[in-house]
A and B are shown apart, each in its own frame.
Chain A
Amino acid sequence: MVLAELGGRISRALQQMSNATVIDEKVLTECLNEISRALFQADVQFKMVQNMQANIKKIVNLEDLAAGHNKRRIIQQAVFNELCNMLDPGKTSYTPKKGKPNIIMFVGLQGSGKTTTCTKYAYHYQKKGFKPALICADTFRAGAFDQLKQNATKAKIPFYGSYTETDPVKIAQEGLERFKRENYDLIIVDTSGRHKQETALFEEMRQVSVAMNPDLVIFVMDSSIGQAAFDQAQAFKQSVSVGAVIVTKMDGHAKGGGALSAVAATKSPVIFIGTGEHMDEFEAFETKPFVSRLLGMGDWSGFMDK
C-alpha cells in the first residue's frame, strides 16, 4: 500500500534529524518541513498540516525548558501523537449487533464508491453470520439499480429497489419495512452521490436519513481526493449524523491523506478501506496499529496508548 511510502518519508525525516549532532531550531524546522511536504503530497488538508507543525514546535519548545529530556524522543513522540490525533477521533463507531435489525446508510460524493462498498460491507458481515439485505435508494444515477442488483446477485444477497419510483424516501421506507418483516438483521441502504453545493440533494439525503433512522451513517470517500475533502466531509456531517468513514480505491497510487481530513471533519473513525473493485477487496482498519505501521513500527509501539 502506498500509504507506507508516506510513513517511510516521515521516518527518514526523523532519522535524518537523529543523525544531526545537535538538534537546534534549524534542524527541527528542516525535519518538520520535510514531514509537512510528505503530508501535503498525501493530500492532507493544508490547515491541518500547518497546525500540526505549530503544535509540534510548541510541545518541543516547552519541553525544551525542562532539562534532562531527550529531545529526539520528544520530537518523535510528538509526531506520532499528532498523526494519531489526526486519524483517531477518540471514539469508536457503531458495530452491527446480532439479534436485532441493524440499519446502515451509505452517503458520499459522486463516484466515491458507495454502491460497490455497500455490497463489500454486506458480504463482509454475511461471512460473519449476519443476514444482510441491500436497498437501492439511488433513483438518480442511470443504471444505479442494475449495478446494485448485479452486485447483490453475485454475493447472493437480497435487494430492494425500483426502476420506476423516483422518490428515494419511499423506496427506503418500503425496503426497510419489507426486510424488517423478513427478519434481516443488517439492512443497508445505498444513496445517490451528492455534493454540498447542491442544497436540494442534501435535503433529500436528510429525508432518507429521517425515514430510515439508521444506526450508522457511513461516509464513503475516494482516497485520491485533494483539498476539497475537508469541506465536503464536514458538510455531510452537518446534514446527517455520520458515524464512520470508509476510504476506497486504496489499491491505487493515492496516499489517502484526504481520509485524515475526513476523519477530522466528521470526527468519525475510518472503519474499512477498499482495495479493489471485487467484492472481497476490503480490509478492516484500525488507527493505532496503522499509524505505527505507517511510521515503520519497531520502537513506535512503545508510544501507543499514552
Chain B
Amino acid sequence: FSSIFQSVAGKSALEKTDLEPSLKALKERLMTKNVAEEIAEKLCESVAVSLIGKKLGSFTRVASTVQAAMEDALLRILTPKRSIDILRDVQSAKEQGRPYVIVFVGVNGVGKSTNLAKVAYWLLQHEVSVMMAACDTFRSGAVEQLRTHARRLQIPIFERGYEKDPAIVAKEAIREAMQTKQDVVLVDTAGRMQDNEPLMRALSKLINLNKPDLVLFVGEALVGNDAVDQLTKFNQKLADLSATGSQQLIDGILLTKFDTIDDKVGAALSMVYISGAPVMFVGCGQTYTDLKKLNVKSIIKSLLK
C-alpha cells in the first residue's frame, strides 16, 4: 500500500508505472460509488494520459496529483456544455403562440410519471400553466396514476384511456393545449427496455410526430452498469429511427431516487459521461417538492471521498 504514497520527486517525468497503483485505487473507489466499470476505466485512462510525461514538484505525491487530475476531469464532465433554461424557453414558445412540450422517457419503473408530476408542480410555482398528457396507454393503472396527480395539482389532463396509439394521443393533447392556451404540455410515456425494438420504434414515432421541445431521459440513481447501455441505446435508437434529417435525441436527464443511494452517486456520472446531456433535475423523494438541481461539487466530493 505504501507504494501509492510513494514520492517520485527527483524523477524526471511521470511514467505509466508510477501512476498505476494510484489509478487502480481510484478506479476501485469510483466503482464502489456505483460508477459503471467501463466509465471508471475510461476516466482513469484519460487521467493517465494527461499526466504521463509531466514533472512532479518536489514533495508532491503521485496519489494527490492523480486525485487532483481526476477532480478536474470530473468537473469538466459534470459541468453542462449546453445549458437549457426551461422557463425562458417556455416564455419564447408562448410568444410564438404555442405550448412548450416535454416528453419523459426511460426504462420501466424509474419514476417518469411521479417526476413528471413534480416538474408540473415546479412549473406551477413559476406561474406557468401546465397540462398533462397520459400517453402511457399500456401499463395497468398508468392513466389513473396520472389522473390522481392532475387532480391533486388541479391541472388539466388529456387522456384517451388504454390501448390507443400514444403518438396520436400526444398529438391531440398538444392541439388541445394550443386551443386552451396552456403554456406547457408534459407527456408521460410507458416504460420500455432499451433493447425492445417495437417499443423503441413506437417512442421514436411519438417524438418524430410531435417534435417536442425537450426530451427528458428519466434514469434512477440506483442503476448500475446498465446506465451506460440505457442512454447509449435510447440515443442511438432515437437517431436511427428518426424520420427527418434533424435528429432529436435526449436533451436532458432527470435523475431519480437520489434519496435511496447514500453516497453511491456514480450513476449521475455514468449517465452524463455517456450522453453528454445535462442533469436538469434530481428527484430525491416521493412528494411534489422533492425535486432539486444537481450539485456538481457535492457529487465530486462523494465520488472521491
Mark A residues whose CB is within 8 Å of B: 37, 40-43, 46, 109-113, 140-151, 154, 195-198, 222, 224-229, 231-232, 249, 251-255, 257-258, 277
Please tell me if B220 contacts chain A, counting CB pairs below 8 Å: yes
The answer to whether A226 touches B223 (Cβ under 8 A) is yes
Q: When the two chains form their complex, are residues B225 and A43 in contact, meaning their CB atoms are under 8 A apart?
A: yes
Contact A46 B222 (CB under 8 A): no
Contact of A150 with B37 at beta-carbon distance under 8 Å, contacts A43-B225, A111-B220, A277-B108 already known? no
Q: How long is the Cα–Cα vector from A110 to B283 in the complex, in angstroms?
A: 13
Chain B residues lying within 8 Å of A141, measured Cβ to Cβ, are 145
B65 at the interface (CB under 8 A from A): no
Within B90-149, the residues touching A (CB, 8 Å) are 107-111, 113-114, 117, 138-149
Contact present for A255 and B225 (CB under 8 Å) = yes
**A146 and B193 within 8 A (CB):** no
Question: Known contacts being A142-B145, A143-B144, A257-B224, is A228 close to B108, with CB within 8 Å?
Answer: no
10 examples of A-B residue contacts, CB within 8 angstroms: A43-B226, A46-B32, A142-B152, A143-B143, A144-B145, A225-B223, A227-B224, A228-B264, A253-B194, A254-B226
Distance in Å from the Cβ of A108 to the closest Cβ of chain B?
A: 10
Cα distance, A227 to B139, chains bound together (Å): 28
Interface centre among A113, A144, A146, A151 (most CB of B within 10 A): A146
Residues of A within 8 A of B147 (CB): 143
**Docked pose: A251 CA to B261 CA in angstroms:** 24
A111 to B286, CA, bound (A): 12
In the complex, how many angstroms separate the beta carbon of B298 from the nearest chain A beta carbon?
Answer: 16
What is the size, in residues, of chain B's interface with A at 8 Å between Cβ atoms?
52
> Which of A142, A144, A197, A252 counts the most B-chain CB atoms under 10 A from its CB?
A142
Chain B neighbourhood of A142, CB < 8 A: 113-114, 117, 144-146, 148-149, 152
Give A261's nearest chain B residue, CB to CB.
B224
CA gap between A222 and B260 in the complex, in Å: 14
Q: Shortest beta-carbon distance, A158 to chain B, in Å?
A: 16
With A249-B108, A252-B226 as known contacts, state yes or no: A228 contacts B141, CB within 8 Å.
Answer: no
Q: Which B positions have Cβ atoms within 8 angstroms of A?
A: 28, 31-34, 36-38, 107-111, 113-114, 117, 138-149, 152, 193-196, 220, 222-227, 229-230, 233, 257, 259-262, 264, 266-267, 286
Contact of A146 among B37, B141, B149 (CB under 8 A): B141
> How many Å lie between the Cα of A151 and that of B142 in the bound state?
12
B195 touches A252 (CB 8 A): yes
Taking the closest CB of chain B, its distance from the CB of A298, in whole angstroms, is 28
Nearest CB of B to A10, in Å: 15
Q: Which residues of B contact A109 (CB under 8 A)?
A: 222, 257, 260
Q: Given contacts A141-B145, A147-B145, A255-B225, are A40 and B286 in contact (CB under 8 A)?
A: no
A-B contact count (CB 8 A): 144
Q: Most chain-B Cβ atoms within 10 A of its Cβ — which of A113, A145, A224?
A: A224
Contacts of B227 in A (CB 8 A): 226
B267 x A226 contact (CB < 8 A): yes
Report whether B257 and A110 are in contact in the complex, using a CB–CB cutoff of 8 Å: yes
Q: Are A146 and B145 in contact (CB under 8 A)?
A: yes
* B226 and A228 contacting across the interface, CB-CB below 8 Å: no
Q: How far is the CA of A238 from the CA of B127 in the complex (A)?
A: 45
* Also in contact, A226 and B107, with CB within 8 A (given A37-B37, A40-B31, A110-B260): no
A149 CA / B145 CA spacing, docked (Å):
13
Whether the pair B34, A226 counts as a contact (CB closer than 8 A) is yes
Contact of A252 among B107, B149, B286 (CB under 8 A): B107
Chain A residues with CB below 8 A from B224, complex form: 43, 224-227, 229, 254, 257-258
Q: Identify B110's interface contact among A40, A46, A111, A257, CB under 8 A.
A: A111
A299 to chain B, nearest CB (A): 29
Q: Nearest-CB distance from B255 to chain A (Å)?
A: 13
Given A109-B222, A225-B224, list of 6 further CB < 8 A pairs?
A143-B141, A146-B140, A147-B144, A195-B257, A228-B262, A252-B226
**What A residues does B110 contact at CB under 8 A?**
111
Top 3 A-B pairs, shortest CB-CB distance:
A226-B224, A147-B141, A143-B145
Evaluate contact between B259 and A197: CB separation under 8 angstroms: yes
B37 x A41 contact (CB < 8 A): yes
Contact A224/B32 with A109-B260, A252-B195, A253-B193 known, Cβ cut-off 8 Å: no
Q: Which one of B28, B108, B149, B225 contacts A226 once the chains associate, using CB atoms below 8 Å? A: B225
Q: Are A227 and B193 in contact (CB under 8 A)?
A: no
Q: Are B107 and A232 in contact (CB under 8 A)?
A: no
Nearest neighbor of A252 in chain B, beta-carbon distance: B193
Given the interface contacts A41-B225, A42-B225, A113-B109, does A228 sit within 8 Å of B260 by beta carbon?
Answer: yes
Cross-chain contact B140 with A227 (CB below 8 angstroms): no
Nearest CB in chain A to that of B117: its residue = A142
A218-B152 Cα distance, complex, nearest whole Å: 32
Specify which of A110, A113, A231 is in contact with B286 (CB 8 Å cutoff).
A110
Return chain A residues, CB-CB under 8 Å to B38. Answer: 41
- The docked-state distance in angstroms from the alpha carbon of A258 to that of B264 is 14
